[in-house]
């Protein structure tokens, strides 16, 4: 089933584009393995109906059933409307005045077979208005147009040939006359049957389980362990990337165990004026939005400004996954700018860091927060300030009431990218 993002007042949730809550009560056309045909947005070719309905219990002589379905499909495509099973009786559907032709094919097929044992008396015939070829063609057309219908607000749940009723049965999420009319513009109105199904809510996306286009504040794991994604950034060619701390490692990253992206460029060395990298995410997709709440929430904010003026005394909030994901944004004030910080245990000196402090008695950042966004939130929008690089305290033990970050201004200088 495909998944679509829905924006609700700037907050993103995950919604199913379809609900496969239950099969049709009777006569859903089966595929060759007996599984009801469903929407298939995964790119694989849809399975074609064999003309066999799964609505009833198969008879003892399934060989007869298979022989007749194959023969009628091949020899009388313009007359044959499919078969279904009713107890031990095989029901053959035909169109127009073609019953003699159909009966002749049945008699010839059974007469020439040494494996079919079911008597002709166990076969009944029902006149229909549409051939199986016609119904299969309707289904294939709907397979091809399902994505376009979804874009127009018509979300299909399940559709398939219903042989006993000689229709293409279509389940539509929250069916209305207008939605039905849109489907019939694609398939035609003849031999169509509709039912309405509800859309089911599903768990929201979060920092822990995100998907493309990626947001800042995600939990990611790089070559050097757990970190947090920073602000999404773009270059002059329009390519979007995510960012994180350079010390998170140079290489491949994962998110919730799945592929996330790979380092494109990094700026991290002994004596460097920064600690950052940009990551080309799969599939080269990111958005200028950041999570700002706990992992259990869907709180997020669009990045609408870069706070260029950052002076001692200014408010600042840290948005690392490990800390903010558990307790929400951790906020304090800027203490000093342009600081050089000695990293432990490498002993490397990282220059031009901004130092923030808090009097709240809780950590501004902890291991796992590296690379996460540093920001302020105004009227629901995020102002980008930098990314988390390190943390400490007067006694070097938690709570880490001191935290350091690389200002966003350095990103443009080091990588030629911007969050806006």
Could you tell me the strand order of the sheet in which 252-255 lies?
A: 225-228, 219-222, 252-255, 258-267, 276-281, 240-244, 233-234
Q: In 138-239, where do the E strands start and end?
A: 156-162, 167-173, 192-197, 214-216, 219-222, 225-228, 233-234
**281 Cβ neighbours under 8 A, 6+ residues apart:** 212, 214, 240, 241, 242, 260, 261
Q: For 396-416, what is each residue's pLDDT tens digit? A: 899 999 999 999 988 877 788
What pLDDT is recorded for position 86?
80
Which of the four pLDDT bands, split at 50, 70 and 90, describes residue 420? low
Instruction: Tell the burial category of 118 from Cβ atoms under 10 Å away from its Cβ (0-12, 13-18, 19+).
Output: buried
Selection from 13-22, 62-71, 233-242, 324-333 with the highest mean pLDDT: 324-333
Rounded Cα distance between 216 and 141, Å, is: 40
Nearest to 276 by CA among 364, 372, 154, 349: 372
Give φ, ψ of 209 to 5 degrees.
Answer: -130, 85
CATH number of this structure's domain 214-415: 2.40.10.10
* pLDDT higher than 90, residue 157: no
User: Structure pTM?
Assistant: 0.56
Question: Higher-confidence residue: 115 or 48?
Answer: 115
pLDDT digits (tens, 9 = 90+) for 46-73: 333 344 443 333 443 677 888 899 999 9
Q: How far apart are CA 94 and CA 153, in angstroms?
A: 36
Whether residue 220 contacts residue 255, with contact meaning beta carbons closer than 8 Å, is answered with yes
pLDDT tier, 88 (very low <50, low <70, confident <90, very high otherwise):
confident
In this structure, what token pair is assigned to residue 128?
A: 């229909």
Percentage of residues in the chain having pLDDT higher than 70: 83
d(CA 196, CA 74): 35
**What is d(CA 156, CA 226) in angstroms, rounded to the nearest whole number?**
40
What's the confidence (pLDDT) of residue 18? 25
Q: Where are the domains of the chain?
A: 214-415
The first and second tokens of residue 23, run together, are 């099969």
**CA separation for the pair 376, 374 (Å, rounded):** 7
Half-sphere exposure of residue 168: CA atoms within 13 angstroms, side-chain side: 32
pLDDT at 385 exceeding the cut of 60: yes
The yes-or-no verdict on residue 309 having pLDDT over 90 is no
Report yes or no: 274 and 406 within 8 Å, Cβ to Cβ: yes
């Amino acid at each position: 089933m495909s998944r679509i993002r829905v924006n609700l007042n700037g907050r993103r949730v995950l919604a199913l584009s379809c609900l496969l809550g239950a099969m049709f009560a009777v006569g859903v056309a089966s595929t060759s393995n007996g599984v009801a045909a469903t929407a298939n947005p995964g790119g694989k070719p849809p399975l074609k109906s064999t003309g066999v309905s799964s609505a009833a219990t198969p008879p003892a002589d399934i060989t007869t059933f298979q022989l007749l379905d194959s023969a009628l499909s091949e020899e009388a495509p313009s007359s044959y409307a499919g078969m279904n099973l009713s107890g031990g009786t095989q029901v053959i559907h035909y169109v127009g005045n073609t019953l003699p032709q159909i009966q002749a094919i049945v008699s010839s097929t059974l007469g020439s077979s040494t494996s079919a044992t079911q008597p002709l008396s166990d076969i009944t015939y029902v006149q229909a208005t549409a051939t199986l070829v016609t119904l299969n063609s309707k289904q294939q057309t709907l397979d091809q147009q399902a994505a376009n219908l979804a874009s127009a607000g018509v979300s299909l749940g399940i559709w398939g040939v219903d042989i006993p009723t000689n229709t293409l049965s279509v389940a539509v999420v929250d069916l209305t006359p207008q939605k039905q009319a849109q489907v019939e513009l694609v398939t035609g109105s003849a031999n169509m049957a509709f039912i309405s199904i509800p859309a089911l809510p599903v768990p929201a996306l979060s920092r822990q389980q995100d998907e493309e286009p990626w947001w800042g504040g995600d939990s990611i794991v790089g070559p050097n362990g757990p970190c947090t994604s920073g602000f999404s950034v773009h270059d002059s060619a329009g390519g979007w990337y995510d960012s994180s701390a350079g010390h998170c490692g140079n290489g491949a990253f994962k998110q919730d165990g799945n592929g996330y992206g790979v380092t494109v460029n990094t700026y991290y060395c002994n004596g460097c004026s920064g600690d950052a990298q940009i990551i080309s995410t799969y599939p080269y997709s990111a958005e200028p939005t950041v999570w700002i709440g706990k992992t259990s929430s869907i709180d997020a904010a669009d990045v609408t400004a870069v706070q260029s003026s950052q002076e001692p005394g200014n408010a600042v909030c840290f948005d690392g996954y490990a800390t903010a994901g558990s307790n929400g944004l951790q906020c304090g004030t800027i203490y000093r700018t342009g600081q050089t910080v000695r990293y432990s245990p490498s002993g490397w000196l990282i220059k031009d860091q901004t130092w923030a402090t808090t009097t709240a008695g809780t950590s501004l950042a902890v291991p796992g927060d590296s690379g996460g966004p540093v920001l302020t939130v105004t009227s629901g929008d995020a102002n980008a300030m930098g990314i988390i690089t390190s943390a400490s305290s007067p006694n070097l033990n938690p709570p880490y009431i001191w935290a350091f970050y690389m200002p966003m201004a350095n990103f443009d200088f080091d990588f030629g990218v911007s969050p806006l």
